[in-house]
């Protein structure tokens, strides 16, 4: 069971960590331009995560529909599912393009009154939105490779895009003096390269899944099926974006330096949460399979090992962030004295939330696998919206210096609620099978 959990989790973990590395590298380079440049990226972050949420959520509908056809060996229907998936991603790109052209400046105007921050944010976000065709090409290619049993291809697409981004960042930002625009161009160039590599890899599996664009005929029932599955996933994935939007607005009431620190936190916490979410994703398949096989001992064993792995990762992240908060701020993000004074205690406060969040996330895997998706949604809403934003708003008004304490306080309450729900499900569904 231990080997199974790890083997199911590590490809997803490697892919997510690759993304986290190049996001961090992006941020480190931009922070060396100026504090206002990094602040502009902090305000752009919610929109970027919202774009990823649409792509990931659409991928859930695409994957489920394609895998269903492949499982039944209906290759013509599988071909149609692939083409409809690419169509949905093209519509996602049109949505992002429209935002970049018509709503980007309005959004940044609402975020900041500082003209330099606004202009840099518009320059960065407009390029990322308008040229997001690479992202919208990369995601469906990855899903096709994943569904046809080629995880190595999935990682190649991710790795190539990330490597291109990392190489181009210093060249464009400093070598050509393009600043935040250089960072944006490096990002979209990496995405477009990854998408093109994905198309090449898909051609190499055409014997297993022949894809013929010439045979495309739009089928409303198939499109509705994909959208019906994708919509809840998009909503779930969008929670992080809504949370960061809300927190940016709340912290702006106190200080833009606090928004800057929040941007640093979001870049660093991904190295803890992405491995935890990878274990979560691996567990969902394992628990679902063994629940179908009525094997309660293997379900319990998978959850115990998943919880131990997630907690070990989270506690390591807490210790590292607590110990290295100051050098990370000063050496990596070029923080000034004011940002260091505010940022060191803030990052240490947020680090306390990691183990508590890990427990909630692993419990959510059990909820989703055992037919209690509503519990998983409840936990996510409590963690990221319902409790967190009111707590942050309360603290920013009465104890601004303690505002970042909202993370561990909310995670503590949510963790307790998640454990109560888990033990109830354990008695109802797992214990009778042991």
Per-residue pLDDT band for 8 (boundaries 50, 70, 90) equals low
Instruction: Enter the tokens of residue 406.
Output: 């909202």
* Torsion 157-159-160-166 (CA) sign: positive
- 353: three-class secondary structure by DSSP: coil
Per-residue pLDDT band for 16 (boundaries 50, 70, 90) equals low
For the beta carbon of residue 220, count every other beta carbon within 10 angstroms.
8
pLDDT of 391 > 70? The answer is yes
What would the pLDDT profile of 224-262 be if each residue is shown by its tens digit? 988 887 887 788 778 888 999 999 999 999 999 999 999
Q: What is d(CA 348, CA 231) in angstroms, rounded to the nearest whole number?
A: 36
Q: What b/e sequence results for 367-395 when a residue is b if at least 16 CB atoms lie within 10 Å of its CB, and e otherwise?
A: bbbbebeebbbbbbbbbbeebbbebbbeb
- From residue 260, how far is each of 27, 320, 346 by CA, in Å? 11, 20, 11
Q: Which residues lie below 8 Å from residue 413, measured CB to CB, with a gap of 6+?
A: 382, 387
Mean pLDDT along residues 180-186:
94
Q: What is d(CA 190, CA 132) in angstroms, rounded to the nearest whole number?
A: 11
Q: Directed axis angle between helix 256-292 and helix 220-252, to 10°? A: 140
Q: Of 285, 312, 286, 321, which Cα lies nearest the Cα of 407?
A: 321
Q: What is the DSSP letter of 335?
A: -
Q: What is the mean pLDDT of the chain?
A: 88
Q: What is d(CA 269, CA 271) in angstroms, rounded to the nearest whole number?
A: 5
pLDDT of 374 > 90? The answer is no
Element (H or E) spanning 360, and its range?
helix 354-369
Candidate from 67-71, 79-83, 417-421 with smallest mean pLDDT: 67-71
Per-residue pLDDT band for 151 (boundaries 50, 70, 90) equals low
* Torsion 15-307-345-391 (CA) sign: positive
pLDDT at position 9: 65
Mean pLDDT along residues 79-106:
94
- 5: three-class secondary structure by DSSP: helix
Q: What is d(CA 386, CA 401) in angstroms, rounded to the nearest whole number?
A: 22
Q: What is d(CA 434, CA 419) in angstroms, rounded to the nearest whole number?
A: 20
Are 141 and 201 in contact by the 8 Å Cβ rule? The answer is yes
For residues 82 and 10, the model is more confident at 82
* Torsion 203-15-362-346 (CA) sign: negative
What is the distance in angstroms between the CA of the first residue and the CA of the last residue of the chain? 16
What would the pLDDT profile of 328-359 be if each residue is shown by its tens digit? 999 889 888 999 999 999 999 999 999 999 99
Q: What is d(CA 170, CA 108) in angstroms, rounded to the nearest whole number?
A: 25
């Amino acid at each position: 069971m231990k080997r199974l959990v790890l083997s199911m989790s590590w490809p997803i973990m490697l892919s997510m960590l690759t993304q986290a590395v190049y996001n961090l590298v992006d941020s480190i380079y931009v922070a060396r331009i100026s504090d206002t440049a990094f602040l502009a990226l902090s305000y752009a972050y919610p929109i970027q995560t919202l774009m990823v949420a649409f792509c990931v959520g659409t991928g859930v509908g695409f994957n489920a529909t394609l895998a269903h056809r492949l499982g039944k060996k209906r290759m013509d229907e599988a071909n149609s599912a692939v083409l409809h998936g690419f169509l949905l991603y093209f519509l996602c790109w049109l949505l992002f393009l429209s935002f970049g052209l018509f709503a980007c400046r309005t959004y940044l105007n609402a975020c900041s009154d500082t003209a330099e921050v606004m202009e840099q944010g518009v320059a960065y976000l407009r390029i990322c939105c308008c040229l997001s065709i690479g992202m919208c090409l990369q995601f469906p290619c990855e899903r096709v490779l994943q569904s046809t049993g080629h995880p190595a291809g999935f990682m190649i697409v991710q790795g190539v895009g990330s490597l291109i981004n990392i190489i181009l960042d210093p060249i464009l930002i400093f070598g050509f003096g393009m600043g935040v625009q250089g960072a944006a161009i490096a990002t979209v160039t990496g995405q477009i390269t990854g998408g093109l590599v994905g198309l090449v890899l898909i051609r190499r599996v055409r014997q297993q899944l022949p894809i013929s664009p010439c045979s495309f005929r739009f089928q409303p029932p198939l499109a509705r099926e994909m959208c019906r599955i994708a919509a809840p996933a998009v909503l779930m994935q969008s929670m992080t974006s809504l949370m960061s939007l809300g927190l940016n607005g709340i912290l702006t009431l106190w200080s833009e330096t606090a928004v800057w620190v929040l941007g640093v936190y979001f870049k660093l916490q991904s190295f803890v949460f992405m491995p935890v979410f990878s274990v979560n994703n691996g567990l969902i398949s394992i628990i679902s399979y063994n629940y179908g096989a009525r094997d309660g001992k293997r379900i319990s064993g998978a959850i115990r090992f998943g919880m131990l792995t997630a907690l070990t990762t989270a506690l390591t992240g807490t210790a590292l962030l607590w110990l290295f908060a100051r050098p990370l701020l000063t050496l990596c993000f070029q923080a000034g004295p004011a940002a260091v004074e505010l940022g060191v205690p803030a990052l240490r406060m947020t680090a306390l939330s990691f183990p508590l969040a890990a427990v909630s996330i692993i419990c959510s895997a059990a909820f989703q696998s055992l037919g209690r998706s509503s519990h998983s949604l409840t936990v996510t809403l409590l963690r990221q919206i319902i409790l967190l934003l009111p707590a942050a708003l309360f603290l920013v008004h009465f104890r601004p210096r303690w505002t970042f304490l909202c993370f561990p306080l909310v995670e503590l309450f949510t963790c307790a609620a998640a454990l109560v729900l888990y033990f109830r499900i354990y008695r109802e569904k797992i214990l009778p099978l042991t």
